[in-house]
Structure 1
Amino acid sequence: MNLTHDFSDVIPVKINEEEPQLCQILYSDEYKETMGLLLALLQKKEYSERALELTQEGIELLASHYTIWNYRYNILLRLNKDLFEELDWCEQLALENEKNYQIWNYRQLIIERILELELEDDTRTKKFNPYHEYPILAAMLGEDSKNHHVWSYRKWLVERFQLYNDEREILFVDNCLNEDLRNNSAWTHRYFIKFGNQDENKDDINVKIDKEISFAMEAIKVSPQNPSSWNYLIGIYRKFKKSLIELESFCLQFADININEQTEDVIKSTFALELLAKIFLEKKETLTALEIFKLLEDKYDPIRKNYWQYERSKLEV
């Protein structure tokens, strides 16, 4: 450890090393010493500069250690530290721990505390700007465009600061889809920012519905076998209780169900086939739906054979 504070008065708590154990964890000496000191200070409820320094050491050793994050947060509040500086420190740590969830949960806690302080004293000169988060989010998603933890945090940011119709947010998700049309995380986020605002005017929603249906259809034309764009399209119809029958002619562009020797050449999308089965069920044409499920089971999606058999079993008498 490379610590600047003195811990000679602290007796480290022993890490669980009793014998026998089903699976003995071989902790390094540095880990045992750091965690032992942290547990000792935590038990004493010490909220000091040296405890703060030690939490950084502990987090750098094991960034997923929730207890240390919680301890660090409480120390910050007790010492009245600069929370904006803490956000800067957290950014660097996030870049070094791409798959860590606790970092983003901790970041939310810090931001919520900043907002609480702003409410308590509206004369504070330094206020939180949600756009401050955009560079780190762009950097993280640039490294891994499907990082679930970062997308979840971004969803929280949109919801917390009402960024649903924010031009920068819409441009970002558009760029993500331009780079990778199969990025399901980007499709999910697009759906959230387009339809997650419960306070939006009904007329505005209706215009948006039409635009997003067109957007999804154009994406399907580019990549007919992309499940994300089909799910987006169906999601809109389900959410706003629109009849799937409206999509029949569109689906037929990718799945001609006139069964003949050339059928294989005209089935461009198994997702179009599946949607057609649902459409025919909505039209009460059960026999046609059964034929489509059989096609999927035997020829076009046999990897999900059991699922298609189940779908047919619900319809067969």
Structure 2
Amino acid sequence: MSNDYNFDDVIPVEINTEQPQLCQILYDDEYKTTMGILLALLKNEEYSERALYITQKGIELLASHYTIWIYRYDILTKLNKDLFEELDWCEQVALENEKNYQIWNYRQLIIDRILKTSGDEKEGSTKRKYEPHREFPILEAMLDSDPKNHHVWSYRKWLVEKFDLFNDPKELEFVDKCILADLRNNSAWNHRYFLKFAKVDLITEESVKNELQYVESLIEQLPQNPSSWNYLIGIYQKQGLKLSGLEDFCLKFINLKELELNDNSFKAVKSLYALEMLAKIFLERKDYKDSIKVYDLLGTQYDTIRSNYWKYEKSKVETIVGGTTH
């Protein structure tokens, strides 16, 4: 192993490759040597510069190895290393391992440590303070590469909660940019909902009105988009609003004059989600006959792939009707 550190005194832990295994992994020599030394140092609880180096080599070989990340964190804290430099290093690892979630857990540990140590400093200290907006470039780069990366969105949610960025202009601008770039990006819609409705004290009559206008305008651009319809329904459920308030909006995508049971023309419906919503609105108003008719249309003409589902929804309405006749 070529490096500035000497490991001649270390007896590497043998990687188990001899015993019969259900799925035998063929490790190369570099992996076995690196991991053998790393595990030996970990076993001996060595917190040194060479141990820090070997964790870097181990992560380069297998970034999903959770134990290595924790060992590296312990070394950093014991040696009192520059944690901002560690964040910079971690960014490069993240870019090379887009689907790895351990990186983001590790990053949370580092930031929490920075906040803890900076909080211990006396007033007037010149120690660097953590600025959460420093995370935005790496997060944007990661989501540019994969706009629906679950691990990155989860980390972003943590960042918002940690630093109260719910109403942060840069955060709102970013999520809006993601949605406009791809109206079907459900991850971006979920994050926007989190920003707008997770904190009760930020919800006002005006903010709800603005969000309804926002999502309705984007539904009009892409009527067959489930992400935006789910967002719209989510607002109504969160605020306890009656679905009947959506009837006029739904009728923008449905021609009632052409909506006949035996009409096979698809011109009458521009959005299945609007049609489904209409069935729910009729049910809310106790217009059971009309609700059943709409579910019939969905199952027999407009969404036959899910015909069994629409039969089930129709049966629930019929059960209610049966109960009201007794």
User: What TM-score range do you get, normalising by the shorter chain?
Assistant: over 0.9
Measured after TM superposition, the shift of residue 180 of structure 1 is 1.3
1:128 to 121, 127, 130: 130
| Structure 1 position 166, deviation (Å) | 1.0
- Counterpart residue type for residue 56 of structure 2: Q
- What is the rounded CA distance, in whole Å, between the counterparts of 1:90 and 1:292 in structure 2? 54
CA 1:315–1:18: 2 relative to 1, 3 Å: farther
Q: Which amino acid aligns with 2:85?
A: E
Q: Name the CA distance, whole Å, in 1 between partners of 2:2 and 2:218.
A: 54
Kindly indicate whether the alpha-carbon contact (under 8 Å) linking 1:225 and 1:268 is maintained by their aligned counterparts in 2.
yes
Amino acid at match of 2:184: R
Cα drift, residue 106 of structure 1: 0.5
2:47 matched to which residue of 1? 47
Is contact 1:118-1:124 (8 Å) kept?
no
Consecutive unaligned residues in structure 1, runs of 5 or more: none
* Matching residue of 2:68: 68
Letter in 2 for 1:205: T
SS of aligned partner of 1:235: helix
1:152 aligns with 2:142: no
Structure 1 distance, partners of 2:201, 2:109, is 26
Deviates more, 1:146-155 or 1:78-87: 146-155
Q: CA deviation at 1:312?
A: 2.2
Q: 1:278 aligns to what?
A: 280
User: Separation in 2 of the partners of 1:11 and 1:195?
Assistant: 56
Q: Return 204-213 or 217-226, whichever deviates more.
A: 204-213
Letter aligned with residue 162 of structure 1 = D
Does the aligned pair in 1 maintain the 2:10–2:37 contact within 8 Å? yes
Tell me, yes or no, if structure 1 residue 104 matches structure 2 residue 100.
no
**1:68: Cα distance to partner?**
0.5
Residue identity matched to 1:240:
Q
CA distance in 2, matches of 1:146, 1:2: 39
Alpha-carbon distance between aligned partners in 2 of 1:55 and 1:228, rounded to the nearest angstrom: 42
Please give the alpha-carbon distance, in whole angstroms, between the structure 1 residues aligned to 2:62 and 2:300.
50
- Give the structure 2 partner of residue 83 of structure 1: 83
What SS does the corresponding residue of 1:316 show, helix, strand or coil? helix
Displacement after TM superposition at 1:299 (Å): 2.2
Q: In structure 1, the residue corresponding to 2:318 is in which secondary structure? A: coil
Query: Could you tell me which amino acid in structure 2 is paired with residue 218 of structure 1?
Result: S
Give the corresponding residue for 2:200: 198
Local SS of the residue matching 1:199: helix
The aligned residue for residue 174 of structure 1 is 176
- Post-superposition Cα deviations, 1:129-182, rounded to whole Å, max 9, x if no partner, equal 011111111111111111111111111111111111111111111111221111
Tell me the residue number matched to 1:188: 190
Q: How far apart, CA to CA, are the structure 2 residues paired with 1:18 and 1:291?
A: 67
Q: 1:309 to 1:262 in 2, by over 3 A?
A: closer
User: In structure 2, what residue type is equivalent to 1:185?
Assistant: S
Identity value in percent:
61
1:227 aligns with: 226
User: 167-176 vs 255-264, which deviates more?
Assistant: 255-264
Match of 1:20 in 2: 20
Q: Secondary structure at the match of 2:270?
A: coil
Q: Does 1:38 align with 2:38?
A: yes
Residue 7 of structure 1 and its aligned partner are, at CA, apart by 0.9
Amino acid at match of 1:55: T
The Cα RMSD (Å) is 1.5
With structure 2 as the length reference, what TM-score do the two structures score?
A: 0.92
Q: Check if 1:209 corresponds to 2:211.
A: no
Note if contact 2:118-2:127 (Cα within 8 Å) is conserved in structure 1. no
2:70 is paired with a residue of what secondary structure? helix
Q: Paired residue for 2:293?
A: 291
Quick one: structure 1 residues 2 and 278, their matched pair in 2 at CA, closer, same or farther if it must change by over 3 Å? farther
Instruction: Tell me, in whole angstroms, the C-alpha distance in 2 between the residues paired with 1:195 and 1:40.
Output: 49
Q: Which amino acid aligns with 2:83?
A: L
In structure 1, how many angstroms separate the alpha carbons of the residues matched to 2:33 and 2:148?
36
For 2:5 and 2:233, the matched residues in 1 are separated by 59
Aligned mates of 2:93, 2:288 — CA distance in 1: 56
Instruction: Give the alignment partner of residue 314 of structure 1, picking from 313, 316, 326.
Output: 316
Residue 242 of structure 1 pairs with residue 241 of structure 2: yes
| Partner Cα distance (1:19, 1:119) in 2 | 50
Alignment partner of 1:142 out of 137, 141, 144: 144
Give the distance between the partners of 2:135 and 2:39, measured in 1 at CA: 32
Cα distance, 1:199 vs structure 2: 3.4
Contact residue 257 and residue 263 of structure 1 kept, 8 A: no
**1:290/1:312 contact within 8 Å kept:** yes
Q: CA deviation at 1:304?
A: 2.1
User: Which TM-score applies when normalising by structure 1?
Assistant: 0.95
User: How far off its partner does 1:274 sit?
Assistant: 1.2
What is the SS of the residue equivalent to 1:315?
Answer: helix
Partner of 2:324: none
Q: Which amino acid aligns with 1:138?
A: E
Q: Could you tell me how far apart the structure 2 residues matched to 1:164 and 1:141 are?
A: 19
Provide the secondary structure at the position in 1 that maps to 2:110.
Answer: helix
Which position in structure 2 is the counterpart of 1:165?
167
> For the Cα contact (< 8 Å) 1:293–1:311, is it kept in 2?
yes
